[in-house]
Structure 1
Amino acid sequence: MSTGTDPLAPLADLPGVPEAVVEVRKAVDRLYGHRVMRRRAQEVTSEAALRGARASAALDGADWPLEEVRRRSDFSADPQARTVGGALRISAEAGQLLSTWRHSPLQVLARLHLLAVGDADPSAGRPRRAGESAGVLFPVELPAAEGVFGDGGQPAEAVERGGELPPAPSPEEAAARLDQLSQLLAARTEGAASGTPALVVSAVVHGELLALRPFGEHNGVIARAAQRIVLITEGLDPKAICPAEVGFAELGTEAYRTALLGYLGGTPEGMARWITHCGAALRLGVRESTAVCEAMQRGMV
C-alpha cells in the first residue's frame, strides 16, 4: 500500500501498476548489476543518451538510423536534422539540469525548449501564447515491433487502436496546470510528500506535459526528456542508462497515442493503462542497454 501525503500516491495502487513497478525495478536492478557497469558505466550512459535521443527524435518525426545520427556533425540542414539535433542537445544537457529541476521544474522546461528549437528561434524558451499552435505530437506513425516484450510484457498487437487527441488547453490553462505540477514536484523535493514510485511520478510528468503541450513545437521530445530527468532525480535510474524513449518508439506511436488517451480521460483504467505503458517502454529501454552491455562484454563495442 502507498503511504504519505503525496496526491499521486493513489495512482500507485491502480490495477496493474504495482506489478509494473515491481517488474521495472527488477529490470533496472539487473541492468545496474551487470558486470560491464562496474568498469564502463559512463560509456553505457553515453550510449543510452544517444539511443534515447535518436528514438525521441523518431517519435517527433525524424526517424534516422542510429549510425546516421552517430556519423552526422551538422544538424542544421533541414527540419528533420534540426529535430535530431535538438534531441541530442537535450539528451547531452539533461544531466546538468538535475539540481535546477529539484527547485524549479519550469525553468528546466524552458531550457529544454530552447535546446530543442535553438536560440535563434524567437519562441525559444517561452510557452506558447494566445493564437499560437501547440504543434503535432505524433507527426509520423512508427509501427509497433512484432512479437512480445522481451521482459514479460503484453503483445504490442493486443493494444487497441486509439482515436484523435483532443485540442491542447489554452495557454492560460496550460500555464496554470504547469504551475500546479511544479508545486507538486517541489513539495516532493522538500519532503512534504513521499511514498510514490518513480515510475508513477515520471509517467504523470510525461503525460501532463503531453496533455498541456505548453510550447509551440517539440512538446513530445521535451516531455520524454522530463520523464528521464524524473527517473534520475527520483533515484530509479541515477546513471541515466535506461532510455525509455527507445521503448516508446519500439512499441509504436499508435500504442503511445492510445495510452495517452487513457491519461487524458482521467479514469482509473486510463491512468493505469498510461502508467503501465510507460513501464513497458522503460523495460524495453533496459533491454536496449542490456544489449549494449553484452556487446561491450564480448568486445564488439
Structure 2
Amino acid sequence: MQGRAVPDDLSGTQLAAAIRVSALAEELGSHPHPLSASPMQAIARLHVAAAAGLIDDAQVGRPRIGAELPRDLSGLPPAPAAEAAAARLRGLAELLGSDAKHSALLTAAIAHGEILAIRPFVLGNGLVARAVFRILLVSGGVDPSGVIVPEAAFLADAVGYGQAAAQYTSGADVPGWVASCARAVTDGAGEGSTIADAVLAGKLPQI
C-alpha cells in the first residue's frame, strides 16, 4: 500500500484501520513477549489502530461500558454484557501475562477466540483478534520471521471461519476452533511462500 491513495470514504477508513493494525502488529511482534508485560495496554493500542475514525473518540481504546453492545461480528452468538466482557478480558490478560508454559499456537488460538467471543469493544473486535493471533504466532516462535498469512486462509473460507468461531463462542467445539486456527497457519504458510516468490521474481516491491 506504500505510496497508494486511500479512498476518501468509509471503505478507505476501514482500509486505513486494517493497515494501521497490521503495522502495529508487526511492531509489537518484533519485541520479545509483547503481550505478557502489559497485555491490556497492548490490546488497547491495537483497538485504537482498529477503531479510530470509525466510532466516537470516547469509545476508542477501551472496553465496552454500561449498555454498550458490539456493532460487529453479528453472526456469532450474543456477546456478554459489558461488565462480564471486561471481566473475561481481564482473564485473558492474566493468561497472556502468565509465566506458565503453553503451546504458542494453542495460546494464540485461545486468545483469538476469546476476543471474538467476548467482543470487548464496540467495533474493531475482528481486527484486534486476528492481530493478537498474529503477534502471538510471531513472538511465540511459530512464525518468527512473520511471513505466514493466516488472514488469507480465514478470508478464503469466511463461512468456515465464522462457523468455527461460533462453535468456540458457544463452547460447543473449542478443539475444532483450535484445529481451524492450525489449518489457517498451515495454509497461511503457503500464501506467505507465494508472496515471497513474487517479491523475488520482481512482481511485488521489496520494502
Q: TM-score range by the shorter chain?
A: 0.7 to 0.9
Partner in structure 1 of residue 185 of structure 2: 282
Report the alpha carbon displacement of residue 71 of structure 1 after superposing the two structures with TM: 6.2
Structure of larger gyration radius: 1
Pairing 1:27-66 to 2, within 5 Å after superposition: none
In 2, the alpha carbon distance for the partners of 1:274 and 1:172 equals 25
Q: Does 1:183 align with 2:125?
A: no
Partner in structure 2 of residue 132 of structure 1: 68
Q: Which deviates further from its counterpart, 165-174 or 93-102?
A: 93-102
In 2, the alpha carbon distance for the partners of 1:261 and 1:115 equals 25
Report the alpha carbon displacement of residue 79 of structure 1 after superposing the two structures with TM: 1.8
Partner in structure 2 of residue 91 of structure 1: 22
User: Cα 1:73–1:122, aligned 2, differ >3 Å: closer, same or farther?
Assistant: farther
1:10-61 deviation digits (Å, cap 9, x = unpaired):
xxxxxxxxxxxxxxxxxxxxxxxxxxxxxxxxxxxxxxxxxxxxxxxxxxxx
Aligned pair partner of 1:170 in 58, 81, 89: 81
Aligned CA RMSD, in angstroms, stands at 2.0
Q: Which deviates further from its counterpart, 200-209 or 96-105?
A: 96-105
Pairing 1:1-301 to 2, within 5 Å after superposition: 72-74=4-6, 77-97=8-28, 98=31, 100-118=34-52, 121-137=57-73, 164-187=75-98, 190=99, 193-194=100-101, 196-252=102-158, 254-267=159-172, 270-301=173-204
Structure 1 residue matching 2:59: 3-state secondary structure: coil
Which structure would you say has the larger RCO, counting Cα contacts within 8 Å and 6 or more residues apart? Answer: 1
**8 A Cα contact 1:135 1:216, kept in partner:** yes
**8 A Cα contact 1:259 1:273, kept in partner:** yes
Q: What amino acid does structure 2 have at the position aligned with 1:121?
A: D
**8 A Cα contact 2:6 2:15, kept in partner:** no
**8 A Cα contact 1:242 1:289, kept in partner:** yes
Q: What amino acid does structure 1 have at the position aligned with 2:132?
A: A
In 2, the alpha carbon distance for the partners of 1:209 and 1:123 equals 17
**8 A Cα contact 1:213 1:219, kept in partner:** yes
In 2, the alpha carbon distance for the partners of 1:94 and 1:118 equals 16
Q: What amino acid does structure 2 have at the position aligned with 1:176?
A: A
In 1, the alpha carbon distance for the partners of 2:62 and 2:125 equals 12
Report the alpha carbon displacement of residue 299 of structure 1 after superposing the two structures with TM: 4.1
Report the alpha carbon displacement of residue 197 of structure 1 after superposing the two structures with TM: 2.2
Q: What amino acid does structure 2 have at the position aligned with 1:248?
A: F
In 2, the alpha carbon distance for the partners of 1:70 and 1:256 equals 29
Percent identity between the two aligned chains: 37
In 2, the alpha carbon distance for the partners of 1:292 and 1:264 equals 33
**8 A Cα contact 1:82 1:117, kept in partner:** no
In 2, the alpha carbon distance for the partners of 1:93 and 1:73 equals 20
Runs of 5+ unmatched residues, structure 1 = 1-68, 139-163
User: What is the number of residues matched between the two proteins?
Assistant: 199
Structure 1 residue matching 2:66: 3-state secondary structure: coil
Q: What amino acid does structure 2 have at the position aligned with 1:118?
A: A
Q: What amino acid does structure 2 have at the position aligned with 1:216?
A: V
